[in-house]
């Protein structure tokens, strides 16, 4: 399998640079304003000039203004970025009939049947980069590898505006030297658990009993890492769009009071549900804590999730988050994905 992963570089900020050439070369920060005050909210993304000053996604706008007082601060314009994203995705789609859209600025394509080897894949990746830049003036970073996860990691390593490749004969050394923290899906909490049991590199997974690994991080994540470590992870690129439908709202004050949070959670569900074309099978409650750390909890159903069911299940997920985490909540939201589209959807809802 030859997988090509495309990541649009600092996408929101880069679109603003294309639309406003006078911003190019200057620190630029795209923000999600909460509405509490002029400086309240969080950074969505920043260009590399701003990143050199310490600005990064997720930090408070007030902190970003301290780090980069002369930077350009702009509100996020999701509709504008979505239009550019759709045009770029259509360019990518021409290069393979197997395309998986992972987010507004990420996509995988399977080019196994389009090239004879990895050398040809590299040439295809170069052509794709050039076409996207020629037509949209957006740079992308591309990773090419024998599976989706390794392709994404390679793309991350060559940012920005890079093109990297991992050939089959290089995979063993790659697994041996890859830091466990570099693997998609290994966040701060899981990373700490893995380090605690002596796992610092991906190869270290093979030196820990599987039952120990499963006990620490759960069965699904344990299987995922074990397959990566043994080079047996070959999840196919499927023709689907994995962009979740979500809505997040800022609370009037940081709190743990369910009576204050619940109406905002219900409103988030109502607004997110309007965006869905079909019936979701997974719901995720997301809380942004007082220090802007993000905590989420999901639940998947074999059948679909009606709006009434979403109200009930989201409250249980929120309670589970608050039970484990004692910090105050700043924002709350919900995401729906695994969307099912069919005739007779009402019969599908459980």
* Domain edges within the chain: 3-9+79-168, 12-78, 172-229, 245-348
**Phi, psi dihedrals of residue 257, rounded to the nearest 5°:** -75, 115
pLDDT tens per residue across span 324-347 = 888 999 999 999 987 776 544 444
Quote the pTM value: 0.79
CATH number, domain 12-78, options 3.40.50.1970, 3.60.120.10, 3.40.1170.60, 3.30.470.20 = 3.40.1170.60
Q: Is the dihedral of CA 58, 64, 68, 69 positive or negative?
A: positive
Span 101-113, average pLDDT: 94
Cα separation, 171 vs 3, in Å, equals 14
Is the pLDDT at 10 greater than 70? The verdict is yes
Neighbours of 316 (CB within 10 A): 12
- Which residues are catalytic, by number? 106
Position 290 scores a pLDDT of: 84
* 3-9+79-168 and 12-78 agree in CATH topology: no
Residue 302 burial (C-beta neighbours within 10 Å; 0-12, 13-18, 19+): exposed
Superfamily of domain 245-348: DNA polymerase, Y-family, little finger domain (3.30.1490.100)
Span 53-73, average pLDDT: 94
Superfamily of domain 3-9+79-168: Reverse transcriptase/Diguanylate cyclase domain (3.30.70.270)
pLDDT tens per residue across span 191-238 = 999 999 999 999 999 999 999 999 999 898 999 999 999 999 999 998
- Report whether 105 contacts 6 (CB < 8 A): no
Cα separation, 335 vs 269, in Å, equals 8
- Report whether 30 contacts 76 (CB < 8 A): yes
Say if residue 7 carries a ligand binding annotation: yes
Is the pLDDT at 144 greater than 80? The verdict is yes
Between 72 and 303, whose confidence is greater? Answer: 72
| pLDDT classification of 140: cutoffs 50, 70, 90 | very high
Cα separation, 79 vs 346, in Å, equals 30
| HSE-CB of 44 using CA atoms within 13 angstroms | 19
Is the pLDDT at 300 greater than 50? The verdict is yes
Say if residue 97 carries a ligand binding annotation: no
Position 341 scores a pLDDT of: 60
* Pick from 119, 94, 122, 96: nearest CA to 109: 96
Instruction: With H, G, I as helix, E, B as strand and everything else as coil, classify residue 296.
Output: strand
Domain 172-229 has CATH 3.30.390.50: no
Cα separation, 179 vs 102, in Å, equals 23
- Report whether 245 contacts 272 (CB < 8 A): yes
Structure tokens at 43: 């950074």
Q: For residue 340, what is the DSSP state?
A: B
Structure tokens at 11: 């996408």
Cα separation, 140 vs 263, in Å, equals 40
* Pick from 181, 155, 144, 59: nearest CA to 103: 155
């Amino acid at each position: 399998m030859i997988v090509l992963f495309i990541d649009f570089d600092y996408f929101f900020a880069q679109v603003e640079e294309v639309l406003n050439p006078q911003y190019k070369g200057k620190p630029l920060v795209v923000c999600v304003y909460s509405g509490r005050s002029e400086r309240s909210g969080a950074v969505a993304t920043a260009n590399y000039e701003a990143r050199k000053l310490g600005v990064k996604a997720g930090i408070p706008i007030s902190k970003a203004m301290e780090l980069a007082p002369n930077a350009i601060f702009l509100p996020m314009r999701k509709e504008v970025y979505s239009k550019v994203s759709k045009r770029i995705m259509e360019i990518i789609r021409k290069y393979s009939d197997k395309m998986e859209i992972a987010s507004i600025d990420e996509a995988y394509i399977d080019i196994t049947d389009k090239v004879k080897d990895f050398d040809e894949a590299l040439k295809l990746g170069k052509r794709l980069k050039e076409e996207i830049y020629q037509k949209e003036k957006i740079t992308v970073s591309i990773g090419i590898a024998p599976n989706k996860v390794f392709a994404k990691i390679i793309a991350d390593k060559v940012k920005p505006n890079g093109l990297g490749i991992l050939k089959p004969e290089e995979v063993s050394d790659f697994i041996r030297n890859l830091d466990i923290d570099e693997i998609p899906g290994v966040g701060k909490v899981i990373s700490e658990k893995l380090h605690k049991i002596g796992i610092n590199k991906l190869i270290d997974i093979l030196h820990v009993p599987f039952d120990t690994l499963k006990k620490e991080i759960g069965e699904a994540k344990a299987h995922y890492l074990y397959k990566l470590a043994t080079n047996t992870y070959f999840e196919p690129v499927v023709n689907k769009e994995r962009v979740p439908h979500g809505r997040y709202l800022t609370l009037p004050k940081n709190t743990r009071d369910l009576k204050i949070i619940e109406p905002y959670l219900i409103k988030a569900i109502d607004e997110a549900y309007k965006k869905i074309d079909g019936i979701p099978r997974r719901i995720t409650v997301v809380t942004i804590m007082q220090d802007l750390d993000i905590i989420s909890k999901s639940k998947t159903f074999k059948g679909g999730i009606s709006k009434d069911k979403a109200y009930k299940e989201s409250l249980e997920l929120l309670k589970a988050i608050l039970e484990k985490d004692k910090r105050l909540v700043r924002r709350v939201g919900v995401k729906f994905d695994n969307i099912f589209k069919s005739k007779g959807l009402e019969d599908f809802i459980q």
